[in-house]
Amino acid sequence: MSSTAPSTNAEAADIQRAVLEIIRGQRTGFTPAVAKAMLWLASGAYRLGAGFRNTLFDLNLKQAGRVGAKVISVGNLTVGGTGKTPMVEWLGGWVLQRGYPVVVLSRGYGQKRTGAAGGPVPGAMNDEGLLLQANLDNIHLVLSPDRLRAAETALEHIEPKPECFIMDDGFQHRRLARDLDILLIDALNPFGYGHLLPRGLLREPVKNMKRADVIIITRADQIEKSGLECLQTQIRRRLPEAPVLTAMHKLKSVLQCSDLSPVGSGWLKGKRIYAFCGLGNPEGFRRELETLGGEVVACEEYPDHHWYSDEDFQGIVKRAREAEAELLLTTQKDAVKFDPELEVDLPFLCLRIGIEILEGEDELTSRLIKIFPEERPAVGMMSQVELNQAISFGERPKDFHRPWEEKWWEKEEDGTGSRC
């Protein structure tokens, strides 16, 4: 199964892959050894900077600001995908069902870039924001590196006023005080190869997990029971009072990329699949592909938050045709970034992945109930369009159906169409 991503941004993918191989010890010899030593020195400088900043907060020399609403933070210790966005979606759905207006605060990693300066497109939403908008009704998103200011802006402009902010990737963002701090740890690589960036993948020392109120071990189903128990013991040794939950990534549905309408996952069985993704942790996507019952002829990997150019996508389609693939398959996070007018003559599907809590859900919901004690009827909120106009943030167009992409699976069932 190929993992090469030929594109105008192939160099970035190659560099990312090379650095990861050096960090993992997969490259040996003189040059990788020198590179590893340089990464180690750089991680020392990173440790000093991150440690100094955390010390300021620990000694109350810098203080977190509070806003007039409850704040839940979802974050991790390492770079890469641990399941933050599916967890934000889970929490957003829970709080909305409880009847409280919700706004998601995101730094905005992965906003579309334009021009020689490489700055973000004015008003552009990032891929995670587009994903949450597609999956949750009445959810609002505000993108800004300054989450405290973003929360204050949302309280000023949104009606009814938000009563809950969910801070995506907020563990290191200590400027905004929170009522619940949830830390996700990936069972497949819990501590980022044991080193801080850039020698490893840790964003701060493991000891700092003590700030968390709740720990959730994600992808807990993908390691042996003995390994999971060992990881739980390590965590509880550092946080004896905090609950340690386990969770898994779960396929919720297969969607048509044009309008995100569902397709039966059984249709994929026996098909030749050409897959691609731009994720922080593509290994989870690869493992999910193995469960679909199709023949995966290739899986191209692009950098996390990658925005696909026309050249990128046409190259994917060309290679899929050469491999005699019957369909294209990606993640929903990738799918929401495609131009609604982008034509494709192959069935183009995506996987919607959610999170399922395996152990400890009652503990989490009990803590949430303490924060949101009153169960209310759902409250209507101003639309994201109105919010965007008020504070100049963009959104995915409402009408993103691709007219050339018909429901080919229905044609196949009634015998009027071909397999692809």
**Nearest residue to 217 via CA among 195, 196, 194, 239:** 239
Domains 70-250+355-391 and 253-353+398-414 alike in fold: yes
Listed residue (353, 389, 360, 376) closest to 164, CA to CA: 376
Provide the pLDDT for residue 122: 42
Q: What pLDDT is recorded for position 110?
A: 64
d(CA 279, CA 173): 22
pLDDT attached to residue 2: 47
> Sorting pLDDT into bands at 50, 70 and 90, what band is 404?
very low
Question: Measured between alpha carbons, how far is 185 from 84 in angstroms, rounded to an integer?
Answer: 10
- How much is the pTM? 0.85
Q: How many residues does the chain have?
A: 420
Average the pLDDT over 21-42 and give the result: 92
Closest to 360 (Cα-Cα) out of 351, 368, 352: 368
- Confidence at residue 16, expressed as pLDDT on a 0 to 100 scale: 76
Q: Which two tokens stand for residue 233?
A: 């013991």
Question: In this prediction, what percent of the chain has a pLDDT beyond 90?
Answer: 64
Q: Say whether pLDDT at 4 is over 80.
A: no
E strand residue ranges, 147-225: 164-168, 180-186, 214-218
Q: List the alpha helices (DSSP H) in 294-341.
A: 310-322, 332-335
**Predicted pLDDT at 311:** 87
pLDDT of residue 374: 94
Average pLDDT over the chain reads 85
What percent of the chain lies above the pLDDT cut of 70?
A: 83
Query: In this structure, how many other beta carbons lie within 10 angstroms of the beta carbon of residue 245?
Result: 22
Q: Where are the domains of the chain?
A: 70-250+355-391, 253-353+398-414
Q: Nearest 5°: phi and psi at 265?
A: -65, -25
Q: Does the pLDDT value for residue 123 go beyond 70?
A: no
| Secondary structure E strands in 257-385 | 262-263, 272-278, 295-302, 327-331, 348-359
* Residue bearing the bigger pLDDT, 408 or 258: 258
Burial of 216 (0-12, 13-18, 19+ CB in 10 A): buried
Structure tokens belonging to residue 56: 């300021």
Beta bridge partners of 142: 105
Counting DSSP H helices and E strands in the chain, the numbers are: 12, 14
Residue 114 clears pLDDT 70, i.e. is over it: no
Q: Confirm if 168 and 85 have CB atoms less than 8 A apart.
A: yes
What pLDDT score does 386 carry? 61
- Our measurement of the distance from residue 152's CA atom to the centroid of its chain's CA atoms, rounded to an integer in Å, reads 24
Instruction: Please report which confidence band the pLDDT of residue 400 belongs to, taking 50, 70 and 90 as the band edges.
Output: very low
Query: So what's the pLDDT on residue 7?
Result: 45
| pLDDT tens-digit map of 140-152 | 999 899 999 999 9
383 — pLDDT class (breaks 50, 70, 90): low
- Specify the higher pLDDT residue, 413 or 49: 49
pLDDT of residue 392: 47
pLDDT at 418: 34
Question: Sorting pLDDT into bands at 50, 70 and 90, what band is 115?
Answer: very low
Contact 217, 244 (CB under 8 A): yes
Q: pLDDT-derived band of residue 415, with 50, 70 and 90 as boundaries?
A: very low
Tens digit of each residue's pLDDT (9 = 90 or more) over 269-307: 999 999 999 988 888 899 899 999 999 999 998 888 888
Architecture of domain 70-250+355-391: 3-Layer(aba) Sandwich (3.40)
Question: Is 85 exposed, middle or buried, given 0-12, 13-18 or 19+ CB atoms closer than 10 A?
Answer: buried
334-343 mean pLDDT: 80
Quote helix, strand, coil % in the chain, to nearest 5.
40, 20, 40
pLDDT at 234: 97
Task: Name which residue leads in pLDDT, 136 or 379.
Answer: 136
Cβ contact 120:133 at 8 Å: no
Q: How confident is the model at residue 338 (pLDDT cuts 50, 70, 90)?
A: confident
Poorest-confidence range of 115-124, 224-233, 365-374, 407-416?
A: 407-416
What's the average model confidence in pLDDT over 72-95? 95
Q: How far is CA 77 from CA 80, 205, 216, 229, 360, in A?
A: 10, 8, 12, 20, 21
The fold of the 253-353+398-414 domain, in CATH, is Rossmann fold (3.40.50)
Mean pLDDT of 105-123: 59
